[in-house]
Structure formats: C-alpha cells, structure tokens
Amino acid sequence: MKKEIKIGIIGTKFMGKAHTHAFVDAPLFFDLPLKPVLQVACGVDPKATEQFANRYGWKAWDTSSEKVILRDDVDLIDICTPNHLHMPVAIAAAKAGKHILCEKPMANNADDARRMLDAVEEAGVKHMMVFNYRRVPALAFAKKMIEDGKIGRIFHFNAVYFQDWLVDPQFPYTWRHNKQLAGSGAHGDLNAHIIDLARFLVGEFETVCGAEKTFIKERTIAGTNQTKEVTVDDAVSFMAHFQNGALGSFTATRFATGRKNLQRIEIFGSEGSLSFNLERLNELEYYNRNDAAGEQGFRTILVTEANHPYLNGWWPTGHIIGWEHTFVHLVSDFVTAIAKDTPVYPNFYDGLKCQFVLDAVASSIEKGRWIQIPER
C-alpha cells in the first residue's frame, strides 16, 4: 500500500477547484511515490465550504485555517486564498512544519514575500509557487531547448498577457479594483506569470521601466447606484534589460478586447527562435536558423509526443491536453520532490524574485524612470 500525503487546502474558489482536480488526477496519469489524500478543505463560509468538500471529495472541512494548519493529519498546506492572506497562512504553515504550495502572486509586496521565504527556509519545509505555466509541456520543452543551446544567445523576450473581461463598463466594482485589497490589477495577476516565465526561460532581470493605465476610472457597486474609484491598473506595459543582455517587452491588460486568455511569448536568439500562445498551448513555434537555406521557417511543433515533457503520462501523439493539466504536472512534481527530498521549482525564492520585478515596475511608474532589481 502506497504511503499517503495528506492535503489541507485553504481557499475554495477557482483555484481551490483547480488544485483539487490536480490532486485527484495526478495519480491516474503519473507514478507518484505518495498517494495524495484530500484531507481537509478550509473556507470562510461554513455552508459553501461544506458543499465544496462534498462536491470535490474532501474528507473534512473547516473554517479556521489556524486549526487546519495545526492538524496532525495534514502534511501539506495548499494556499489558494486571496493574495493578502498568503503571508500569514504560509508563515503559520511553515512554523507548523508543513510543506507549502502557494498561489501567485506570492504576496502584496516584496517585504511580505521575503518574510515567507525566511520562514520556509528556517522551517526546512518544501515550498513551491503555483506559477503553473512553467509546466505547460510546450514551455517546459522550450526551456529544454534553450538549455540545450538550440536558441543560442537570447536577444529578445517579448511577452503579452491579454484578457478582456473589464472592457464592459457595466462590469461592477469588486475588491479586485481596490489597491489595498488586491495590491494591483492586471500587473500582479498577469504580469506575475510572464515575469516568472521570463526568469525561467531567459534569466534574471537587471532594470525595468513601466507604464500603466486605468481606462475606466470608476465602476458601479453591484446592485446599487453608487460608483467607486478604481485604484488599480487596468493595464501595465514595461520594458526590461536582462542580466544576460537580452531586451524585454511586456504588456498585461484586461482591456484587450477579444482576447480571452492570450499569453504570447516570443523569444529571438542567435541560433533560433520560439513563439508560444497560451490559447494554443499544445503548440510551440520554433525557427531553426541552421535549417537548410530556402527551407527555413517557423515550424509548429505539436507538443504531444511521448518524448515531450509530461506527455508520456497522457494520450497518444496528437491528442491535445488543456489548461488544467499544468496543475496536474505541478502537484505531481511537488509530491515527488517531497517524497524524494529533492529541490523543486519555482519555489518561494522564485516567488520573491518575481515580486521584486513587480515592485520595481510599480516604482518605475511612480518615479517615471528605470529601476534596478535587487538581488535578495
């Protein structure tokens, strides 16, 4: 009988559902050294939490994260709460000696993130950030190609993350429009992802310079006639110099009318180039500068072969996978790292480094000039 790893999940909304599914599906498709057990789910509202637990198969439920963290029958705390709660929950979990999986962005600012990193390092627990896009097979394969020298020296990293759910001026005011609660708008939500991917694929940032817009400056509170000021960004663009000399360009926006979840990444290098689009996440565009003359071109690799990352777990070649599979890969790797006591990435250090870039962009917008990224 396989040894178990017992999960306590804090947060039962969109990400609670996605993570739960990942723990259910992971052992079906990957050989895990530990069997994940849906031990206890924790939410704010008792009724909703009970429903969540029943629907998704959690053995128990609670409304106190403190209690859940301290339970002896919980090995791993999975943090799916709103952003400002990541820090207190993570620190408590670290003190309780639990392994920690944490949703992004890591915290509302770098100071909080650094405290979290200190806590997990002191406690010696495993920690992982849910920058799930590192485990899109196409992007994991892109990483491998870069490491294998297929792209050569990287000249450009251009990334956009386009959504459009705020274009409608009737979309109501929520906590997400409040800077104190949400930290930022598209910036922390979407740029966090492409910043992490930039670090994953290119390396460390050196300096950044940004611009932001709030296109609709006030919104109506649902069910009222009252409007409230939107204090977060709707869109943030920024430029970056990387330590290795690459030039970066980034845009995150919730006002890209017609683009639902378009994350597009373009990498140009001395030996080849790569292009990726999250809405077609099974595909990777690759240009090989060393192909025969006249026969060069961007090729569409359908990243569904058994020799592609994670694909041996799934279906025959050509049978595509979806967005939520990235979470299955991530929890599989995390559970395996815990069992084997091996390093796993992105961890809280990666979360902190991402937070540095987010903060530096915000600071550059405030000051109207370029900002250096700190080391730690």
| Interaction of residue 170 with a copy of itself, rule CB under 8 A | no
**Measured from the CB atom, is 59 or 319 closer to a copy of itself?**
319
**Measured from the CB atom, is 40 or 87 closer to a copy of itself?**
40
First vs last C-alpha separation in the chain: 43
**Helical (H) or strand (E) element with 78:** strand 76-79
Residues numbered 356-375 forming contacts with a copy of itself, rule: CB under 8 A = 368-370
Least CB distance to a copy of itself at residue 22 (A): 11
Angle at 130 between CA 138 and CA 189, to 5 degrees: 95
**Measured from the CB atom, is 231 or 261 closer to a copy of itself?**
261
What's the rounded Cα separation, in Å, for the pair 91 and 79?
11
Options 60, 70, 167, 339; binder of a copy of itself; rule CB under 8 A: 167
Q: With contact defined as beta carbons under 8 Å apart, do 58 and 157 qualify? A: no
| Interaction of residue 261 with a copy of itself, rule CB under 8 A | yes
Q: With contact defined as beta carbons under 8 Å apart, do 265 and 158 qualify? A: yes
Options 115, 320, 336, 349; binder of a copy of itself; rule CB under 8 A: 320
| Interaction of residue 156 with a copy of itself, rule CB under 8 A | yes
Options 170, 318, 341, 376; binder of a copy of itself; rule CB under 8 A: 318
Q: With contact defined as beta carbons under 8 Å apart, do 245 and 261 qualify? A: no
Tokens of 1: 């009988």
Tokens of 187: 């910036």
Q: Which residue has the tokens 């430029």?
A: 239
Least CB distance to a copy of itself at residue 257 (A): 4
Least CB distance to a copy of itself at residue 244 (A): 11
Nearest Cα neighbor of 72 from 97, 89, 90 is: 97
List CB contacts of 293: < 8 A, sequence separation 6 or more.
none
CB atoms within 10 A of CB 88: 15
CB atoms within 10 A of CB 20: 25
| Interaction of residue 55 with a copy of itself, rule CB under 8 A | yes
Least CB distance to a copy of itself at residue 45 (A): 20
Options 37, 48, 262, 339; binder of a copy of itself; rule CB under 8 A: 262
Q: What binding mask, one character per residue, do residues 12-51 give for a copy of itself by CB under 8 A, x or -?
A: --x--xx-xx--xx-xxx----------------------
Backbone angles phi, psi at 96, to 5 degrees: -80, 0
Residues numbered 58-117 forming contacts with a copy of itself, rule: CB under 8 A = none
**Measured from the CB atom, is 30 or 200 closer to a copy of itself?**
30
Options 39, 83, 109, 253; binder of a copy of itself; rule CB under 8 A: 253
Options 76, 195, 198, 235; binder of a copy of itself; rule CB under 8 A: 235
What's the rounded Cα separation, in Å, for the pair 304 and 315?
8
What's the rounded Cα separation, in Å, for the pair 184 and 179?
6
Residues in the chain: 376
Q: With contact defined as beta carbons under 8 Å apart, do 252 and 190 qualify? A: yes
**Measured from the CB atom, is 70 or 302 closer to a copy of itself?**
302
Span from 59-67, 85-93, 154-162, 223-231 in contact with a copy of itself (CB under 8 A): 154-162
Q: What binding mask, one character per residue, do residues 279-308 give for a copy of itself by CB under 8 A, x or -?
A: xxxx-x-xxxx-x-xxxxxxxxxx-xx-xx
| Interaction of residue 258 with a copy of itself, rule CB under 8 A | yes
Q: What binding mask, one character per residue, do residues 190-209 give for a copy of itself by CB under 8 A, x or -?
A: -------------------x
